[in-house]
A and B are shown apart, each in its own frame.
Chain A
Amino acid sequence: MIALVLVHAGLDVSLDLELGEPGPGQGAVRHRGGDRIVTTARADRAALEWALALTDRAAVLTVGPAQSADAMAWALGRGATGAVRIWGEAIEALDLPAMARVVAAAVRRIAPDVVVAGERGLAGATGALPALVAARLGWPCVDGAIRLALEEPGLVAERRLQGGRREELAIPCPAVVTVTADSVEPRYVSVRARRDAARRGHEAWSLADLGLTGEAVSSAVKLRLERVDWPRPRPRRTAASPPGPARSAAERLRQLVGGAAPGRGAAPTAQASRPVEGEPGAIADRILAFLEQHRFV
């Protein structure tokens, strides 16, 4: 069995980012200060783990500029038997259907039995790409598997459904499957393994290698990037300090549920959350009265 894993090397978005003009080889978003830290989504790593669990012939495919070499080295270091990177100038501006066309062409050329991708792991994190690729190929597609296993003549995949239910799907190959990020703990790939893999290198394909031209794929794109905006700054939340033990239980309770807690819209009024003080018996009566008043009992 041959598995092909779709991976994507993206910017580490939790870092300090800045917006700039989109240019060749880079998007509008880049790291402030110049350092460019490329990382691989956990879901993508999980996809490679599952592919390697299914077969010892698992290759990876990415669409990305030269910086994606890090992701290729990581995949090869982890045990992928081959790595292909597709890039061309026209790819920068592709929308999802156009991208799916490129990826599908590459999948056809490699001819795997199964394409495994990380759920919402690839390019743009919309999660639509694997499905679009499957649609183009006319292959079945299973999204968000938490377990994959070989079962003649194809695969079985387990999916988590609402309410804790699970479903098990028999998948005839060839097929496209995505796996969730938490479905498996990706194995650590050492610096040495990554470096050795980087030395071995990966295959770089152009659109021409896939029998496509830049014009052919980009002419279908009707979208244009207008603007990228920063998220609105979120107000800094201050942690409510726990009330000191010196106060009475009722005072502490008032402090916790009362106006001391900041944010979250309008604070509940003191009336609505007034602690009740008194003898245990009296309090029990008040509680009962409250429950009856609100028809709980």
Chain B
Amino acid sequence: MGDVTRTVWWNVPAWLAMLLYVGTALGLAISALALARHARTILRARRLGPGPAVHAGPAVRRVLTEVLSHHRLFEDPGAGWAHALLFYGFLGLFIGTCLVFVHDRMVPFLVGPTYLVFSFLLEWAGLAFLVGVAWMLRRRLGPRVPRLEPSGVALAILGLLGAIGVTGFLLEAARIAATNPPFEVWSFVGWTFGRALRATGLGGPSLHRGLWGVHAALSWVFFGLIGATVLRHLVAAPVQIALRRLRAPGRLAPASPDTGSLVPARLTWAQLLDAATCVRCGRCTAVCPATAAGKPLDPRRVVQATLQAMREGRPLEALVSPDEAWSCTTCAACVRACPFEIEVLDKLVDLRRTLVETGGVDATAARALEATAERGNPFGGVPADRTAWAADLGVRVLRPGETTDVLYWVGCAGAFDPHGRRIARATARLLQAAGVEFAILGRAETCTGDPARRMGEEAAFLEAAGRVATTLGTVGFRRLVTHCAHCFNVFRNELAPDGGSPLPLPAVHHTQLLSELVRDGRLAPRAVSSESVTLHDPCYLARHNGETAAPRVVLATANGGPVEMPRSGERTFCCGAGGGGAWVEVRQGSRIAALRMAEARETGARVVATACPFCALMLGGETGPGDIAVRDVAELLWESQPAGAQTSGAAGSDRP
């Protein structure tokens, strides 16, 4: 079997071989130029925003795991399989082509059994590639996956890839038909078609040469399209995965020190790089609560607008309207869903930062911001009323210089919102019942600045956060507990008075502390309530801070565990309050909270448990008489306590 191999340039005249190299080089050059333009814009912005993750080892490992495992893509199994087939098929064919080059120019090793195995494997790679392409086409043309746009470009690229695959197989078939070596049966696809060609008498060398030319020309087009189309992600995605900001998801990128319009020169390198990675898959748009509610926001469009701003040198605010920017609830579902973690909400918050400086702030939002600056809370409440909820509970108010074991941070919603107050009462009574030594700050408490920051008012956030850091510095505590998911996020990720890395605060969410008390037997539940409960995970607890277990532990004690909604845990669906949404209402479309409540009702549960007063506020606003009730997990746990504990806390109303 000395000649069990194939002549690499069989039937290809020298001029055509030369043309292959020229065309490929030309295609690659066109793409390189386009990519270089992007790279130059991104590099110019390299000093804007926080720097990239620079540790080479972990970065390479991250790229390899993410690219090879496709784990984000497999969250939608159809997309995962289609892309994996295409990707691994492509990778196989690419490696195969490289090996053929080595064989041809350096070491001729594709001979004998090696050649046969090689051919056999490449057939599979080609098949996988084609199946992947076909599957993707079907997802766009057949029974459609709603998030995918059947855009001309996407279809053309898939068509091109398909044509490259098909012509590859056909030219192999033509070669086999013309030369007919029996060992080529290992190239089973080419062999099968080759026999068919022979049977029809079409398989001459001229057909092979023609197909070879078409195959080569299509590949030039492919190479030429990498730089200017979504194929860019072949290059950009590994770079993005390697360099993207590694940070707690709940930590917003700080504002740049200069103000002004978001011209491309002011977009950070991270924003430009991730926009260049976008493949328009629409996962962001599919999970966006604002889009679902019919608000004028489409995260995919925002990323594409960033790309357009970058390309055309136009300011981003000329391409994205204020209403789009204000529709975002900063729930980060889009970031979580994106295979490349493109930071959509950072772009929108940056737009808000521009709007805040130019007066593009809604009246109610302006009032919340002014109240935060003047009175230390976005509700406009009177500081002296901060302890009104605890008037009859005998809760200790910590004065400067004093210490306590647990410092209970009530938050503005806990202090001023009627439902928030009930949550605070329930939490305080549970802590009392469990014998926890705790205290509150009373009127010394001020807003942590979360709403201000997410409404784009960075300076107000820094002021608020600085105030809170100062206040916390005057008292001693071992742990800081809060029932507000937004305060919790600031304490864990953002309270950095100097704008640098956050203070290491021993902050826990009340569900975490309560689940601990339950586990330690310090809160013994009475009879478990028979009412069925579903749990609404707050975005700022579950998605931004990864805590999904604690509220479930508490609910398991109080109500035997929740009936889960389709979107729960880290994939929870926003209530609409985040990002200042509790104050800013973009009137177009329906209310996000209404969508969430409809989902909750479908579980058949009688109660929606929440773990954030803002979720309680938003969802509670959607309930009618006799409807499903909205309660914080702390309220539900308090109600499940033995009657003794209920009365031992303090005199007063029997309901928290």
Q: Would A191 and B366 count as touching, CB distance under 8 A?
A: no
Q: Would B259 and A192 count as touching, CB distance under 8 A?
A: yes
How many of A's residues come within 8 Å of B, CB to CB? 19
Q: Would A15 and B383 count as touching, CB distance under 8 A?
A: yes
Q: Mark B368-380, 1 if CB is under 8 A from A, else 0.
A: 0110011100000
| Segment among B353-361, B550-558, B645-653 that sits at the interface with chain A | B353-361
Q: Would A16 and B375 count as touching, CB distance under 8 A?
A: no
A32-B374 contact given A188-B366, A193-B357, CB 8 Å threshold: no
In whole angstroms, how far apart are the Cα atoms of A238 and B608 in the complex?
29
Q: How large is the interface on B (under 10, 10 to 19, 20 to 34, 35 or more residues)?
A: 20 to 34
Closest to A78 in B: B359
Q: Would A191 and B383 count as touching, CB distance under 8 A?
A: no
Q: Per a CB cutoff under 8 Å, which of A15, A32, A188, A189 touches B375?
A: A15
In whole angstroms, how far apart are the Cα atoms of A15 and B369 in the complex?
17
Q: How many Å from the CB of B192 to the closest CB on chain A?
A: 70
Q: Per a CB cutoff under 8 Å, which of A15, A39, A186, A187 touches B382?
A: A15
Q: How many Å from the CB of B8 to the closest CB on chain A?
A: 66
In whole angstroms, how far apart are the Cα atoms of A19 and B626 in the complex?
48
- In chain A, positions 118-143 with a C-beta closer than 8 Å to chain B are none
Q: Would A190 and B457 count as touching, CB distance under 8 A?
A: yes
Q: Would B356 and A190 count as touching, CB distance under 8 A?
A: yes
Let me know if A92 is at the binding interface, CB within 8 A.
no
In whole angstroms, how far apart are the Cα atoms of A12 and B371 in the complex?
11
Q: Mark A36-52, 1 if CB is under 8 A from B, else 0.
A: 01010000000000000
In whole angstroms, how far apart are the Cα atoms of A39 and B370 in the complex?
10
Q: Would A191 and B373 count as touching, CB distance under 8 A?
A: yes
Which of B361, B363, B374 has the most chain A CB atoms closer than 10 A to its own CB?
Answer: B374
Let me know if B417 is at the binding interface, CB within 8 A.
no
In whole angstroms, how far apart are the Cα atoms of A191 and B457 in the complex?
7
> Given the complex, which residues of B lie within 8 Å of A195, measured CB to CB?
459
Q: Would A14 and B382 count as touching, CB distance under 8 A?
A: yes
> Given the complex, which residues of B lie within 8 Å of A190, measured CB to CB?
356-357, 457, 459-460
Which of A15, A186, A191, A192 has the most chain B CB atoms closer than 10 A to its own CB?
Answer: A191
> Given the complex, which residues of B lie within 8 Å of A187, measured CB to CB?
359, 361, 366
Let me know if B384 is at the binding interface, CB within 8 A.
yes
Q: Would B459 and A12 count as touching, CB distance under 8 A?
A: no
In whole angstroms, how far apart are the Cα atoms of A191 and B459 in the complex?
6
Q: Would B361 and A191 count as touching, CB distance under 8 A?
A: no
Q: Would B383 and A35 count as touching, CB distance under 8 A?
A: yes
Let me know if A203 is at the binding interface, CB within 8 A.
no
> Given the complex, which residues of A lie within 8 Å of B374, measured CB to CB?
12, 37, 39
A185-B363 contact given A37-B375, A191-B457, CB 8 Å threshold: yes
Q: How many Å from the CB of A24 to the closest CB on chain B?
A: 25
Q: Would A33 and B359 count as touching, CB distance under 8 A?
A: no
Closest to A14 in B: B382
A188-B383 contact given A15-B375, A193-B357, CB 8 Å threshold: no
> Given the complex, which residues of A lie within 8 Å of B356, measured CB to CB?
188, 190
In whole angstroms, how far apart are the Cα atoms of A187 and B375 in the complex?
19
Let me know if B44 is at the binding interface, CB within 8 A.
no
In whole angstroms, how far apart are the Cα atoms of A192 and B375 in the complex?
18
In whole angstroms, how far apart are the Cα atoms of A188 and B458 in the complex?
14
Q: Would A12 and B460 count as touching, CB distance under 8 A?
A: no
Let me know if B622 is at the binding interface, CB within 8 A.
no
In whole angstroms, how far apart are the Cα atoms of A185 and B362 in the complex?
9
In whole angstroms, how far apart are the Cα atoms of A33 and B363 in the complex?
30
Let me know if B443 is at the binding interface, CB within 8 A.
yes
In whole angstroms, how far apart are the Cα atoms of A42 and B120 in the complex?
80
Let me know if B516 is at the binding interface, CB within 8 A.
no
In whole angstroms, how far apart are the Cα atoms of A187 and B259 in the complex?
18
In whole angstroms, how far apart are the Cα atoms of A195 and B383 in the complex?
24
Q: Would B361 and A188 count as touching, CB distance under 8 A?
A: yes
Let me know if B463 is at the binding interface, CB within 8 A.
yes
Q: Would B382 and A192 count as touching, CB distance under 8 A?
A: no
- In chain A, positions 174-190 with a C-beta closer than 8 Å to chain B are 185-190
In whole angstroms, how far apart are the Cα atoms of A250 and B370 in the complex?
48
> Given the complex, which residues of A lie within 8 Å of B460, measured CB to CB?
190-191
In whole angstroms, how far apart are the Cα atoms of A186 and B359 in the complex?
9
In whole angstroms, how far apart are the Cα atoms of A35 and B357 in the complex?
27
> Given the complex, which residues of B lie within 8 Å of A188, measured CB to CB?
356, 359, 361, 365-366, 369-370
Q: Mark A228-253, 1 if CB is under 8 A from B, else 0.
A: 00000000000000000000000000
Q: Per a CB cutoff under 8 Å, which of A33, A186, A189, A193 touches B383?
A: A33
> Given the complex, which residues of A lie within 8 Å of B382, measured CB to CB?
14-16
Q: Would B457 and A15 count as touching, CB distance under 8 A?
A: no
Q: Mark A184-220, 1 if CB is under 8 A from B, else 0.
A: 0111111111010000000000000000000000000
Q: Would B443 and A192 count as touching, CB distance under 8 A?
A: no
In whole angstroms, how far apart are the Cα atoms of A187 and B366 in the complex?
8
> Given the complex, which residues of A lie within 8 Å of B365, measured CB to CB?
188
In whole angstroms, how far apart are the Cα atoms of A32 and B385 in the complex?
12
> Given the complex, which residues of B lie within 8 Å of A192, measured CB to CB?
259, 357, 458-459
Which of A16, A33, A185, A188 has the most chain B CB atoms closer than 10 A to its own CB?
Answer: A188
Q: How many Å from the CB of A154 to the closest CB on chain B?
A: 28
> Given the complex, which residues of A lie within 8 Å of B383, measured CB to CB?
15-16, 33, 35
- In chain B, positions 230-255 with a C-beta closer than 8 Å to chain A are none
In whole angstroms, how far apart are the Cα atoms of A15 and B386 in the complex?
12
Closest to B366 in A: A188
Q: Would B357 and A191 count as touching, CB distance under 8 A?
A: no
Q: How many Å from the CB of B117 to the closest CB on chain A?
A: 67
In whole angstroms, how far apart are the Cα atoms of A37 and B383 in the complex?
11
- In chain B, positions 378-402 with a C-beta closer than 8 Å to chain A are 382-384
Q: Would A191 and B359 count as touching, CB distance under 8 A?
A: no
Q: Can you list 21 residue pairs at the A/B interface with Cβ under 8 Å?
A: A12-B375, A14-B382, A15-B384, A16-B382, A16-B383, A33-B383, A39-B374, A185-B363, A187-B359, A187-B361, A187-B366, A188-B359, A188-B361, A188-B369, A190-B457, A190-B459, A190-B460, A191-B459, A191-B463, A192-B459, A193-B357
Top 6 closest pairs, chain A to chain B, by CB: A191-B459, A188-B366, A187-B359, A188-B361, A16-B384, A192-B459
13 further A-B contacts with Cβ under 8 Å, apart from A33-B443, A37-B375, A190-B357, are A12-B375, A16-B384, A32-B384, A33-B384, A37-B374, A39-B374, A188-B365, A188-B370, A190-B459, A191-B373, A191-B463, A192-B458, A192-B459
